[in-house]
Structure formats: C-alpha cells, structure tokens
Structure 1
Amino acid sequence: MTAQDINEGKGLAIVSYLALIGIIIAYFLNNDKKNPFTSFHLRQSLGLWLLFHVLGFVASSFDNWGVTSGFYLFFCVLFIYGLIGAVSGKAQSIPLLGDVFQKWFSSIGH
C-alpha cells in the first residue's frame, strides 16, 4: 500500500466507520477504484457492524445493565480504534477480530 493509496482512500475509509449506510456508500464509491486502504477499512468496519448487531441481539436478551454497558463500551472502543487508524492513515487490524474480518471479507476490494 503506497502513500498515494492511503491519501486517496482515507476519506472513504473514514466514511465506512460512520454507520451501515457509510459502508454501503464507501463500498460503491470504492468499487471502481478498488483502493487497497479503503478496502482494508471496509472489511474491518463491515465485520464490526455485523458483529455489533448480532451480539447486540444476544446482549439485549440479558436484563442487566452491566452486560449491556460492557457490550456498548467494548464496541465503542473498537470503533474508535478503527476510526483513528483510518484518520491517521494506518492499516492496522482491530484487536482480537481484525485479522478474522480480513479473511472473512477478503472478496471486498479485490
């Protein structure tokens, strides 16, 4: 990944972390260019958002504020970590799950 790839893809990489609609926008805008930096962060954010919604369904079944607070804090930290990586121009995987997301969604951006 070159510095030019990072500079060109930084905006869409940031957009991909904003919401599910951000992933869709970044995916379609990156579809023609296939910028490797944007693709990396698309895979990270897609994995985070999907896992957030799946585990959110599970966490909502607990009637305990500690479980739900911990759930939201965990994902908030991961989203901020990914967003800071996108803003700073680094292709660093999210702790615990980033490498798994890169494998699962390897078809995005290729």
Structure 2
Amino acid sequence: MTEQTIQEGKTLALVSYITLIGTLIAFFMNRDSRNPFTAFHTRQALGLWLLQMALGYVVGGFDSWMLTYSFWIFFIVLFLYGVLGALSGKLNSVPILGPFFQKLFASIGQ
C-alpha cells in the first residue's frame, strides 16, 4: 500500500471509529474511491461497534459495577488501539478480534 493511499484514506479511517454512524459514513463515502486503508479500518470499527452493542446488552443485565467497568475499559482500549493505528497510518488489527472482523466483513471495500 502506498503512502498516498494511506494519506487519502486516513480521515475516513478515523471517522469510522467515531460512533456507529461514523462507521456508516466512512463506509458509504468509501464506496466510490475504494481506498483499502479506509476499508480495513471500517471493517475493524464495524466489528468493534457491533460486538460492543451485543455484549453491552448482555453485560447490562448483570448488576455488577465491576463487570460494567471492565467491559468499558476493554472496549475503550480496543477503540484507542484502532484510532492510534489509523492516525499512524498502519494496518494494525485489533488484538484477538481483528482477524475475525477482517474475515467476517471481507466484502466491505472490495
């Protein structure tokens, strides 16, 4: 991947991590240009947001502050990892879950 491709896709890659709506905006704006850097980070962000919502629903059923704080810290760290990867122009997969998200959402950006 060239440096120019990374620079062109960096803004939308960052937008994809800002709420689920940001992910949708990045997805639809990237449909025409098909930037692989943006597509990579859009897949990561979409996977994180969907997993966060699904697990948040389950964790919300428990009455445990310790579990809730652990849940939020876990996802904040994963999102920061993704944002820092997008800022630095690297294709760093989110630990543990990143390769799964790339396979699951492989059709995004193709």
Please give the range of the TM-score, normalised by the shorter of the 2 chains.
over 0.9
Aligned to 2:54: 54
Consecutive unaligned residues in structure 1, runs of 5 or more: none
Aligned to 1:34: 34
Runs of 4+ in 1 over 6 A off after TM superposition: none
Distance 2:91 2:6 in 1: 9
Alpha-carbon shift at residue 87 of structure 1 (Å):
0.6
Q: Find out whether 1:91 has 2:75 as its counterpart.
A: no
Distance 2:56 2:2 in 1: 37
Alpha-carbon shift at residue 108 of structure 1 (Å):
0.0
Task: Return the TM-score normalized by structure 1.
Answer: 0.99
Residue identity over aligned pairs, in percent, reads 59
Distance 2:21 2:46 in 1: 11
Q: Find out whether 1:6 has 2:3 as its counterpart.
A: no
Task: Return the TM-score normalized by structure 2.
Answer: 0.99
Alpha-carbon shift at residue 2 of structure 1 (Å):
1.3
- The two structures, once aligned, show a CA RMSD in angstroms of 0.4
Consecutive unaligned residues in structure 2, runs of 5 or more: none
Residue aligned with 2:23, SS:
helix
